[in-house]
Amino acid sequence: MKNNIKSKSSKDINKFDLFKKLESGQGFEILKIDNLEEIEIIWEQVLKGFSKCFKLKNPSKEDMINIHKKKNMENIFSNLSVFKRTLDKYSAAEIMKSKWLKTLTTKINMYPSDPYRLGYPCFTWRLVRPGTKNDFRNVHRDQWFRIALKGSKHPNCIPGPKIIDSELPPQLQTIKVWLALNVEPGKSGLLVSPESQTKEKPGFKIIKKDNLVKPLVNESELVDIKFIHASTKPGSFVLFGEQLMHGGAPTRTETSRISLEFELSSKKQTIYKNFSS
Residue 266 above 90 pLDDT?
Answer: yes
* Distance in angstroms (rounded) separating the CA atoms of residues 33 and 128: 22
Query: Is 158 within the bounds of a domain?
Result: yes
Query: Is 2 within the bounds of a domain?
Result: no
- State residue 225's pLDDT score: 94
Pick 241 or 215 by higher pLDDT: 241
Give me the torsion for CA of 135, 139, 141, 146, rounded to 10°.
-50
pLDDT tens for each residue of 52-105: 999 999 999 999 999 999 888 887 888 788 889 999 999 999 999 999 999 999
- Provide the terminal-to-terminal Cα distance of the chain, rounded to the nearest Å: 34
Q: Please report, for the domain that includes residue 183, its CATH number.
A: 2.60.120.620
CA 190, distance to chain mean position in Å, is: 9
- State residue 156's pLDDT score: 67
* Distance in angstroms (rounded) separating the CA atoms of residues 169 and 277: 24
How many residues make up the chain in this entry? Answer: 277
The number of folded domains in the chain is 1
Query: Is 197 within the bounds of a domain?
Result: yes
The predicted model gives 135-140 an average pLDDT of: 87
Query: Is 48 within the bounds of a domain?
Result: yes
Tell me which residue range forms the domain holding 117: 10-265
Mean pLDDT of the chain: 91
Query: Is 5 within the bounds of a domain?
Result: no
Query: Is 249 within the bounds of a domain?
Result: yes
pLDDT tens for each residue of 201-220: 999 998 887 667 788 999 99
Is this prediction's pTM over 0.85?
A: yes
- State residue 71's pLDDT score: 87
**In the chain, where does DSSP find H-type helix?**
15-24, 36-54, 61-65, 74-78, 82-85, 89-96, 99-108, 143-148
Query: Is 272 within the bounds of a domain?
Result: no
Query: Is 275 within the bounds of a domain?
Result: no
Query: How confident is residue 197, by pLDDT bands cut at 50, 70 and 90?
Result: very high
